[in-house]
Chains A and B, each alone.
Chain A
Amino acid sequence: MKNAPDPSLPRRRAKTWAIGLAGTGFVLLLLAALRVAAGEGGVGATRLAVLGVGSGAGAAVLLYRQHMLWPAICVSATLGILATYLVFVGSTAVYLGWSDAAYFFGQERLWARVWLTVWTATISTGLSVILGIPVGYALSRLRFPVPRLIATLIDLPVMVPAAAIGALLFGFVRTPPVRNVLDAMGLELAHSATGVIFVQFVVTIAFAARLMKASFDAVNPRFEQVSRSLGASLPATFLHVTLPLAKRGVMASLIVVWARAAAEWEALMLFVGGTEKQTDVLPFAIYLDWNGGMMGWCVSMSLVCVLLAVATMGAMRLIGGRSYVW
């Protein structure tokens, strides 16, 4: 009976025991680590650590005999990542502290930067969605001669280091077709909010196209065929059938694109350059203040960034985008 669980212990009770043992082991290891960190290592900490490892091993043996070791490993990996994430964000919050947080969050300078981030990201999101919807539709429904090559070319600006994009943009805006367009529109990109919007647009357009493709892929093409067979034209079908059906996906993608635009920094650093009140969107301002040694500013701003990221992703999930397909 290789596959039967150990009958000597009811399954539910075994699970409770295992969770208790593993939790105890974790707490003991944590206590040992804290003692070492406080400089009180030695025999006591070692004993705690050995007890903790032993307790964890006991939980593992118990789970193994119940044929539940693999699910336990999977769940503990998830919880481990979660705990690390909470420490990652929490240590920043603890480092800032309440009184400093109250001070920095009351500053005009911080909110001016938040506002700059919000409006530049909103404009660039609008631009990249206007271009992204037709591209996403084309990628989802139309045929292309070399699909993988085209997909690679669209994805590539996101997968090379963003700093390289910043460097490559110099040549891009300097050479004729793009330069003529920019000159005709009278845009000044260096050290200006226009440049920030331009960079965010360049970096998010691939995101927008990909996300829109995913949203349109989720729409059953049968509905479109029915609409077409009943005599509606293709643009009418797109406007009245495809787009409404893909609405949730489109809205969710919009939010992700916005969040990604608001997180852009590296390309800005090379291509646009830092100017107070012009290009210091939050991610860039963190770097600028980090170089200036103003820890309070950059820590409070990175907390704002974390909150923005969590809030946007939460909003996306509420709207109904699946976060792993985003």
Chain B
Amino acid sequence: MSGSRARAHLFIALCYACTLVVVLSSCWLFLSNVDQLVPAETVQTTDTESWRTETLSRRFAGGFWEDPAFWRSMNLSVFTATLTALLAALIGIPAAYALTHYRIPGRGIIDVLFSSVIVLPASAVGLCLIIMFQYGPLHGLQENLGFQVPHTLLPGLVVAQLVLALAMGLSAWRAAFAGVNPRFEHVARSLGSSRWRTFWTVSLPSAKSGLIAGFILAWVRALAEFGAVLIFCGTFRELPVSRFPGWAKDLQMQQADYLSVGMWVEIEFGNIEYGFGIAFALVLISAVSVYAIHRIGGKGYVW
């Protein structure tokens, strides 16, 4: 039997080794970029026609924490992501409950369509959104009612994030409700509780941890949105302050970019240290949130 045991050990060692490779690569993916935060000695900042003055560059991580535009972007990102997650929860939790508890004709097709959003490219999402809101009846509706969805802070950013955040949240919330033993609900119903009361006092508390994990998931996913926001909303940093509504100025969100888009702009325009500073800030936020999801114990779904 020693040969068998040796083979078993080899097999287990192989599995551990593969996991180790994946985990270490993930660490290395982040750690190997720390030196990007430190500017090289011979960076040229002579271009006076550049889109930003040279006071920001040539410092550790571009000194992004002292830049008011970064904090305005942070305000904007956290505010809209929270709004998106709340909206997704408001629509998604009842929908998830319906999909797990009630018979809806064509549920298989609905399943396929909802889960297909998760594997839709962000560029396709952005493009479909632009066409949905800029052409056809919805455009006429916006014109005649005097509001605008694309390229705006409030409906625009939230709509762009909502697509994927809702799809992700739905998958998590459905898994959370599917994990509740239906017996408890049947008992509550047979004892005379109404459907709402059964939901509120039995299903909701039983699925609580999964629902919270799903909410965090939707929030992180909204914050991590890049492609749809880039195509649907673009950047706001070049707009004059007068173009922003009053509430945006009150909440310090004018002339700010969605963090991921801001990071991309900085890197594309050669402000490497600053861009990587934002990237690491985003990684830190995501890491804390993902850890929280695992800590709360969201399981049964992928993220």
Residue numbers of A with Cβ under 8 A of B are 3, 33-34, 36-39, 41, 67-71, 73-75, 77-82, 85, 87-89, 91-92, 94-95, 131, 134-135, 137-139, 142, 144, 148-165, 167-172, 174-175, 177-178, 202, 205-207, 209-211, 214, 231, 233-235, 238, 256, 259-260, 262-266, 270, 282-284, 286-287, 290, 298-299, 301-302, 305-306, 309-310, 312-314, 316-317, 323-326
Q: Would you call B241 an interface residue if the criterion is a C-beta within 8 Å of the partner chain's C-beta atoms?
A: no
How far is B29's CA from A326's CA once the two chains are assembled, in angstroms?
26
Nearest Cβ distance between residue B284 and chain A, in whole angstroms? 9
Nearest Cβ distance between residue A215 and chain B, in whole angstroms? 11
Please report which residues of chain B, range 138-163, place their CB below 8 angstroms from some CB of chain A when the two chains form the complex.
138-141, 143-145, 163
How far is B124's CA from A306's CA once the two chains are assembled, in angstroms?
8
Q: Across the interface, do B195 and A283 meet the contact criterion of CB distance under 8 Å?
A: no
Other A-B pairs beyond A260-B118, A310-B113, 4, CB < 8 Å: A68-B195, A152-B291, A162-B122, A290-B231
Residue numbers of B with Cβ under 8 A of A are 3-4, 7-8, 10-12, 14-16, 18-19, 21-23, 25-30, 32-36, 91-92, 94-95, 97-99, 101-102, 104, 108, 110-124, 127-129, 131-132, 135-141, 143-145, 163, 166, 170-171, 174-175, 178, 192-196, 199, 220-221, 223-227, 231, 259-260, 263-264, 267, 275-276, 279, 282-283, 286-287, 289-291, 294-295, 300-303
Q: Which residues of A have CB within 8 Å of B21?
A: 131
Known contacts A152-B287, A163-B260, A164-B279; is-contact A172 B91 (Cβ 8 Å): no
Nearest Cβ distance between residue B119 and chain A, in whole angstroms? 4
Q: Which residues of B have CB within 8 Å of A256?
A: 119
Nearest Cβ distance between residue B274 and chain A, in whole angstroms? 12
Q: Across the interface, do B122 and A159 meet the contact criterion of CB distance under 8 Å?
A: no
How far is B135's CA from A156's CA once the two chains are assembled, in angstroms?
37
Q: Residue on A with the closest CB to B133? A: A91
Q: Which residues of B have CB within 8 Å of A78?
A: 94-95, 98-99, 104, 110
How far is B141's CA from A124's CA once the two chains are assembled, in angstroms?
44
Q: Across the interface, do B137 and A37 meet the contact criterion of CB distance under 8 Å?
A: yes
Q: Residue on A with the closest CB to B130? A: A290
Listed from nearest, the 8 A-B pairs whose CB atoms lie closest are A283-B121, A37-B140, A171-B33, A74-B98, A234-B8, A161-B260, A259-B119, A138-B15
Q: Across the interface, do A73 and B224 meet the contact criterion of CB distance under 8 Å?
A: no
Q: Which residues of A have CB within 8 Å of B94?
A: 73-74, 77-78
Contact for B122 among A75, A134, A231, A266, CB less than 8 A: A266
Q: Residue on A with the closest CB to B142? A: A37
Number of A-B contacts (CB under 8 A): 335
Interface of A is mostly: helix
Q: Across the interface, do B287 and A302 meet the contact criterion of CB distance under 8 Å?
A: no
Q: Across the interface, do B224 and A260 meet the contact criterion of CB distance under 8 Å?
A: no
Q: Which residues of A have CB within 8 Å of B178?
A: 324
Known contacts A153-B27, A170-B33; is-contact A326 B115 (Cβ 8 Å): yes
How far is B3's CA from A234's CA once the two chains are assembled, in angstroms?
11
Q: Across the interface, do B123 and A317 meet the contact criterion of CB distance under 8 Å?
A: no
Contact for B227 among A79, A175, A202, A265, CB less than 8 A: A265
Known contacts A135-B18, A135-B19, A286-B124; is-contact A85 B102 (Cβ 8 Å): no
Q: Across the interface, do B291 and A168 meet the contact criterion of CB distance under 8 Å?
A: no
Q: Across the interface, do B28 and A95 meet the contact criterion of CB distance under 8 Å?
A: no
Q: Across the interface, do A81 and B166 meet the contact criterion of CB distance under 8 Å?
A: yes
Nearest Cβ distance between residue A317 and chain B, in whole angstroms? 6
How far is B302's CA from A209's CA once the two chains are assembled, in angstroms?
10
Nearest Cβ distance between residue B172 and chain A, in whole angstroms? 8
How far is B98's CA from A236's CA once the two chains are assembled, in angstroms?
43
Q: Across the interface, do B302 and A290 meet the contact criterion of CB distance under 8 Å?
A: no
Known contacts A70-B195, A148-B294; is-contact A82 B282 (Cβ 8 Å): no
Sampled A-B contacts (9; CB under 8 Å): A77-B91, A131-B18, A135-B19, A160-B224, A167-B267, A210-B302, A270-B264, A286-B127, A312-B116
